[in-house]
Amino acid sequence: MVKNKITLTGIKADVGSIGGHLKPSQKLIDTVDEYVHKHQDNLIKDYRISYTGDDILILLTHTGGVDNERIHKLAWDAFVQATEVAKKQGLYGAGQDLLKNSFAGNVKGLGPGIAEMEFEERPNESFLVFAADKTDPGAYNLLLYLAYTDPMYNSGLILSQEISRGYEFKIMDIAHTKANKTIRLKAPNQLYEIAALLREPMKYVIHSIFANYNQEQSVAVSTTRLKSIAGRYTGKDDPVCIVRVQGVFPATGEVVAPFELNPLVSGFARGSHCGPLMPVKQNTTISYFDGPPIVSGMGYSIRQGKLTEGVDLFDHPFWEQIRKRAVDKTKMIREQGFYGAAMLPFSELEYNQGVVNILKNLENRFKIEN
């Protein structure tokens, strides 16, 4: 049998942006595009460059498999090249996601967010790529949980024999930084265990999802946490997620449906607040309160590694209403400023030195009363 193995790799980084953390300059995007174009080797089949907020996404299709050194190095070098341009242009946060300054074979654990999967290309392979800014990898937890386990969103779970077999979730404990610490749980049998983990999105993150019917991979999420790499907060991790759809996987519409919920996620202003995730068109910038957290989504077809033009999943009248709802939710949570659920717990604050000092100074002034 002829094998048609293809790898999809999405690598995303903030290497500088205009006017604060708003968007990369056109020159930056062109630099990444030109670099990838010029340095394509025989592994690479196709690529696309886009941005979401202040992050640039390189989407590559290739035959090199996951964790491929040549592919990762190409993306890394493109971002390094762009960083030089960012410095020349005086862009803000030039090179901020390139945390280690030498490449050691694999961009995992270095800085840029990366999601990738290798699979046997179906004759009508369809997939989606989501890119989020001002949030972290746990932002996809609820959305994917609903799309892969809940018949309220995924009608295939009751209408299709193959889909009704459910899905297997690989979940990662991202607080464990020494090595990958993961667990595999199957829905629907282990649904409550899955939910119990996913309810804590800052620690447990969906890494990938597989169809129980044939063990085929449907989802890959970037699980990089800059905090874990740097040992302190340097910025939010702005995750990318690749989803193969249709057939034994959820339909495209079933995957995008939960995005109507605008779940509250972490990463709003100073990476230290909670805000609703707003589905936006590709190449949308950042604005209100350095946010709100945004997610873009593109749909592609692919044949022997060659991509069609992308379809913007959230460029449709339906999502105008959802964006308005996200604004309402944003205003609601912003009404309580720094208080309670509006600001993230202490361990998640991107900037905590100020608070640390205030609390330290006050500690001595407390009195123990009998």
Q: Does 21 bind ligand F6R (CB under 6 A)?
A: yes
CB of 93 to ligand F6R, least distance (A): 6
Sorted by sequence, the CB contacts under 8 Å of residue 268 that are 6+ apart come out as 134, 135, 274, 275, 289, 290, 291, 292, 293
> Quick one: which of 271, 279, 293, 297 contacts ligand F6R (CB under 6 A)?
271
Stretch that binds ligand F6R, among 33-41, 164-172, 268-276, 299-307 (CB under 6 A): 268-276
Q: How far is the CB of 191 from ligand F6R (least distance, A)?
A: 34
Residue 290 binding ligand F6R, by CB under 6 A: yes
CB nearer to ligand F6R: give 33 or 290.
290
Q: Please choose, from the candidates 86, 94, 77, the residue with its C-alpha nearest in 3D space to the C-alpha of residue 25.
A: 86
Answer for the pair 172, 180: CB distance below 8 angstroms, yes or no.
yes
Strand pairing category for 264-267 and 273-276: antiparallel
- Over the window 311 to 330, marking each residue x when it contacts ligand F6R by CB under 6 A and - when it does not, the resulting string is --------------------
Q: Is residue 270 a contact point for ligand F6R (CB under 6 A)?
A: yes
Q: Which residues in this chain contact Mg ion in the complex, by CB under 5 A? A: 14, 21, 54-55, 133, 238
Distance of CA 353 to the CA centre of its chain: 27
Burial tier of 189 (Cβ tally within 10 Å: 0-12, 13-18, 19+): exposed
Rounded to whole angstroms, how far apart are CA atoms 355 and 238?
25
Q: Which residue is nearest to ligand F6R (CB)?
A: 290
> Which residues touch 215 (CB under 8 Å, ≥6 apart)?
168
Nearest to 79 by CA among 43, 46, 39, 116: 39
Stretch that binds ligand F6R, among 109-117, 168-176, 217-225, 267-275 (CB under 6 A): 267-275
Residue type, 231: G
Residue 235 interacting with ligand F6R (CB under 6 A): yes
Q: Does residue 33 bind ligand F6R (CB under 6 A)? A: no
Does 348 sit near ligand F6R (CB under 6 A)? Answer: no
How many residues touch ligand F6R under the rule CB under 6 A: the total is 11
User: Is 339 a catalytic site residue?
Assistant: no
Catalytically annotated residues? 14, 233, 236
